Amino acid sequence: MKAVSFSPANHCNLKLQKNPIKQPILANPTHFNNHQNQKPSNKKHQFPSFSIKASKSPQTPLTKNPDTPPLVVVGSANADIYVEIDRLPIEGETISAKTGQTLAGGKGANQAACGAKLSYPTYFVGQVGDDAHGRLITEALKNGGVNLDCVRNLSDAPTGHAVVMLQPDGQNSIIIVGGANMSCWPEKLSDEDLEVVRKAGVVLLQREIPDLVNIQVAKAARSAGVPVILDDGGMDAPMPPELLNEVDIFSPNESELARLTRMSTESFEQIGQAVVKCHKMGVKQVLVKLGAKGSALFIEGEKPIKQPIISAARVLDTTGAGDTFTAAFAVALVEGKTKEECMRFAAAAASLCIQVKGAIPSMPDRTSVLHLLQTV
List residues forming the annotated binding site for K(+): 317, 319, 353, 356, 358, 362
Dihedral (CA of 341, 345, 350, 355) sign: positive
d(CA 159, CA 179): 5
- What is the chain's Cα-based Rg? 20
Which residues, at least 6 apart from 45, have a Cβ–Cβ distance to it below 8 Å?
67, 68, 69, 201
- The HSE-up count of residue 83 (CA atoms within 13 Å, CB side) is 14
Q: Of all helices (H) and strands (E), which one includes residue 177?
A: strand 172-177
Q: What is the DSSP letter of 63?
A: E
Q: How far is CA 96 from the centre of its chain?
A: 32
d(CA 104, CA 146): 13
- 3-state percent helix, strand, coil for the chain, nearest multiple of 5: 30, 20, 45
d(CA 339, CA 49): 14
d(CA 47, CA 55): 22
Catalytic status, residue 323: yes
Dihedral (CA of 110, 116, 121, 126) sign: positive
- Indicate the annotated binding residues: 78-80, 106-110, 208, 253, 289-294, 317, 319, 322-323, 353, 356, 358, 362
Phi and psi torsions of 369, nearest 5°: -65, -45
d(CA 169, CA 172): 9
d(CA 317, CA 301): 36
Across-strand partners of 79? 104, 161
- Indicate the annotated binding residues for substrate: 78-80, 106-110, 208, 323
Query: For 274, left (φ over 0), alpha (ψ -120 to 50), or beta?
Result: alpha
Given 149, 231, 248, 323, which residue is catalytic? 323
- The HSE-up count of residue 44 (CA atoms within 13 Å, CB side) is 4
d(CA 29, CA 50): 6
Dihedral (CA of 176, 180, 184, 190) sign: negative
Which residues are identified as catalytic? Answer: 323
